[in-house]
Amino acid sequence: MQLFALFGNPLAHSISARLHNFAFENLGVDAAYIKILAQNSNEIKAKFNALCLSGANITLPFKETSLEICDEISANAKKIGSINTIFSKNGKIYGFNTDAPGFLMSIKPFGKINKALIIGAGGTAKAISYILSKSNINVQIINRSAKRLENFSNFTTFTWENFRPNAYDIVINTTSAGLNDENLPLQKDLLFSTLKQAKFAFDVIYGKQTPFLKMAKQLNLAHKNGAQMLLFQAILAFDIFTQKQFSQDKIQNLMQKALML
Ligand code: NDP
């Protein structure tokens, strides 16, 4: 039997185990997926080896520091600077980032996008800005404070102080504002004027309607939360775990059912 895990801290909110276990069970894969609370990436590596895990997902706040536990890192993950999936093969740990392609798959229904504004400058913003610019989309980034914007030197960046609202096809909230509070990710007037000129709004947070999405709804803007991004990153991780044994459509079908449970 193969064992997989999710490492992170906190983990209570995560539904990854439900998605993976439901797919394992219904595809007849002799495997289980558990959650393991960790304190740092050294502990992740030690537990990964001690439990002889076949693979794992890595979540907050270890996506960046866990690069160091990998023997090999995919080209995408290296460029993004964070991983969310590891897989063990022939005694080596391989690292991948499925958040970035998962996000891209989830915005496909919006159609052609030329210009995007990302709110936030953390790990998720790194993954999304990378994959959007790789798709030739003009990406701009706004963050509450200046420090983290230093990681985005290839992009046009703003702090709240020097931002002037203008027209974007999509506005993406990658901050944790609204996750456990009722905060907007950007100063209210600036956000309102920006969303008013946008075509789509996307919040990476899932499982609740954030104040950001409430404002988008109020403006009759097409909008989406992070549930599909979560689903697609899980499908792509499952594909790595099972070494492409199953079609992505089949995995999606099962994981979508598991999401509704
Ligand atoms: P990080 O800690 O790396 O970055 C957090 C960012 O949010 C920073 O830019 C920070 O700004 C900003 N921020 C935090 N609080 C506020 C606030 N009240 N107002 C404005 N800005 C704020 O987090 P991650 O990028 O790893 O994760 C962000 C969110 O994405 C989480 O909610 C996570 O659950 C979600 N997520 C969802 C996924 C999905 O599949 N749907 C996948 C991955 C993540 P500053 O620099 O000023 O502190």
Residues 221 and 235: their CA atoms lie apart, in Å, by 28
Q: Which of 63, 79, 115, 214 is catalytic?
A: 63
Q: Is the pLDDT score of 129 beyond 90?
A: yes
Q: Whole-model pTM?
A: 0.94
Non-local (6+) Cβ contacts of 250 within 8 A are 27
In our burial notation (b when 16+ CB lie closer than 10 A, e otherwise), range 9-18 reads eebeebbbbe
The CA distance from 110 to 252, in Å, is: 19
Q: Is 45 a catalytic residue?
A: no
pLDDT at 13: 82
Average pLDDT (63-77) is 96
Task: Return the pLDDT at 161.
Answer: 97
Ligand 1 pocket: which residues have CB below 6 Å?
60, 99, 120-125, 143-145, 148, 174-177, 179, 183, 185, 204-206, 226, 229-230, 233
Q: In the predicted model, what is the mean pLDDT of residues 238-246?
A: 97
The mean pLDDT of 35-46, rounded to a whole number, is 98
Predicted local distance difference test score (pLDDT) of residue 261: 82
Q: In this structure, are residues 122 and 175 in contact, taking their beta carbons and an 8 Å threshold?
A: yes
pLDDT digits (tens, 9 = 90+) for 202-232: 999 998 899 999 999 999 999 999 999 999 9
Q: How far apart (Å, rounded) are the C-alpha atoms in residues 247 and 102?
A: 16
Give the whole-number percent of the chain exceeding pLDDT 70: 100
60 C-alpha vs ligand 1 centroid, how far in Å?
A: 10
- Gap from CA of 149 to ligand 1 centroid (Å): 13
Which atom number of ligand 1 is nearest to the Cα of residue 227?
Answer: 41
Report the alpha-carbon distance of residue 205 to residue 184 in Å, rounded: 12
pLDDT category of residue 180 using cuts at 50, 70 and 90: confident
